Amino acid sequence: MEYKHPWIPMTKATEKEMLESIGKKSLEELFSNIPEKFKLSRDLEIPRSHSEIEVTRRIQELAGKNRPADTGRVFLGSGIGMHYVPALVPALAGRSEFLTSYTSYQAEVSQGMLQTLFEYQSLLAEILEIDVVNSSMYDMATAVAEAARMTVRVKKQRSRFLVPGTINPEHYNVIHTYTEPADIEIERIEYDKKTGLMSLSDLESKIDDLVAGVYLENPSHLGFIETQVDEIRRIVHDNGALLVAGVDILSLGLIRPPGDYGADIVVAEGQHLGSPMTFGGPLLGIFGCRNDRKLIYQMPGRLVGMTRTKEEPYEDGYVLTLSPREQHIRREKATSNICSNQALAAVTAAIYMALIGPTGLKQVGETIAYNSNYTAKMLDKIPGVQAPLIGEYIWKEFVVQFGSGITVKDIHEGLLERGLHGGRILTDEFPAFGESMLFCVTEVHSKETIDELIQAVEDIVSQGGAK
């Protein structure tokens, strides 16, 4: 009886038929063009098969070496935040109606998903004080990159896009990847080395009739609050360019929403809204714009709309109002090739926002503001430590600089030995900051853990490094 491999659906008869169809007599003849020195002349060293219980034990053994990140002992952020996720959020978002839903191409059988995404758009439009929000993008980095391309499509004959000098380096790289094929020039705007604020004089010197858009972040990647939003908007609009604002949704319970200070396009990261920080994903790109037809028609991603029957009894219906992807009718005029995007993450965000409401949003923002400012203030009291290094007003993240011969590697390793994870090391990305870290403090960090972090840093600094 012919041997059949349990995992490979290939029989000798099938193999013979395939070889004959291409004029080969054997597998050796098929691979004869491969030099002998590259061929393995022995059997593969594959371990024996294991039973299910043996595999489970091995996985549990390996997993037991991990340190969970949701214990409030991780201070790593840089755009991806450790936030509390109420139990109701994954319970609802994980229902099969949402979990197994695909892109809502056929409205007749997708009313539930379409209505949920419509609610997602509506909630964010209210929080951002912007007219239109799409549904949705991959992450904030690609949202900013898509915004840069959108400004050039709207402002024809213009091919430059300005970004703040304090922008997240990873976001900058993604923007460059998206814009280089479109011949869009990206240029950084200088910033005040003490306050971090965008240099208005440098902005005015660089903005001209070739600049399609200017990007500002508030709060910034480095955590400080940009207090010149009105002045920046005036300069940008006076020169006929579009203002793109990047924000943190959870900060909007405390600081002005981008629509209030005249942003034309708004982008944000939605991971903070109910999605866990699982090795950097899944992320969610939030994208919105003013109610201007020229902007809406050039917006990437999908837009869910609501309609109603003309006669009683009135019934609501939902449909994909805007589908600018090339797979649809747009073809070569498509504004984006974003497809499945992050619909499940958008559903999660909608559930999170509906659950906490405006009062909860404000409370979360206040808690983060208190925790981060308290941490920075106490770290700044340690000799040889400056916090925040840059910015007068901070929210959630802040830069800490270490002096007295202490390196960030010393701090990083010393904190790990104490079961704490420090901030993102900035020495390569922002060499002007010296030995520095970007710490992220949110509502999940208790005062006890924060005090433990402060004491640990003080001990490491006083001892001259990790011990």
CA angle 134, 188, 299 (to 5 degrees): 15
pLDDT score, position 3 = 65
- Element housing 170 (H / E): helix 169-179
Handedness of CA 140, 141, 146, 147 (dihedral sign): positive
88-353: what fold? Aspartate Aminotransferase; domain 2 (3.40.640)
pLDDT score, position 400 = 97
Do residues 201 and 231 touch, judged by C-beta distance below 8 A? Answer: no
pLDDT score, position 353 = 97
CA 123/CA 17 separation, integer angstroms = 60
CA 72/CA 449 separation, integer angstroms = 7
pLDDT score, position 34 = 94
Report the half-sphere exposure of 311 (CA within 13 A, side-chain side). Answer: 0
How far CA 134 is from CA of 144, 281, 342, 357, in Å, comes to: 14, 20, 11, 21
Report the half-sphere exposure of 231 (CA within 13 A, side-chain side). Answer: 11
User: What is the residue extent of each domain of the chain?
Assistant: 88-353, 358-462
Answer yes or no: CATH 3.30.499.10 is held by domain 358-462: no
pLDDT along the chain (467 residues), means of 10: 71 89 92 91 87 94 87 90 93 90 77 93 98 94 96 96 97 96 96 96 97 97 97 98 98 96 97 87 92 94 90 90 65 70 91 97 97 97 95 96 90 95 95 96 96 96 73
In the chain, the amino acid numbered 239 is: N
SS (H, E, C) 195-259: CCCECHHHHHHHCCCCEEEEEEECCCCCCECCCCHHHHHHHHHHCCCEEEEEECHHHHHCCCCHH
pLDDT score, position 329 = 57
Fold match between domain 88-353 and domain 358-462: no
pLDDT score, position 102 = 73
246, 292, 209, 195 alpha-carbon torsion, rounded to 10°: -20
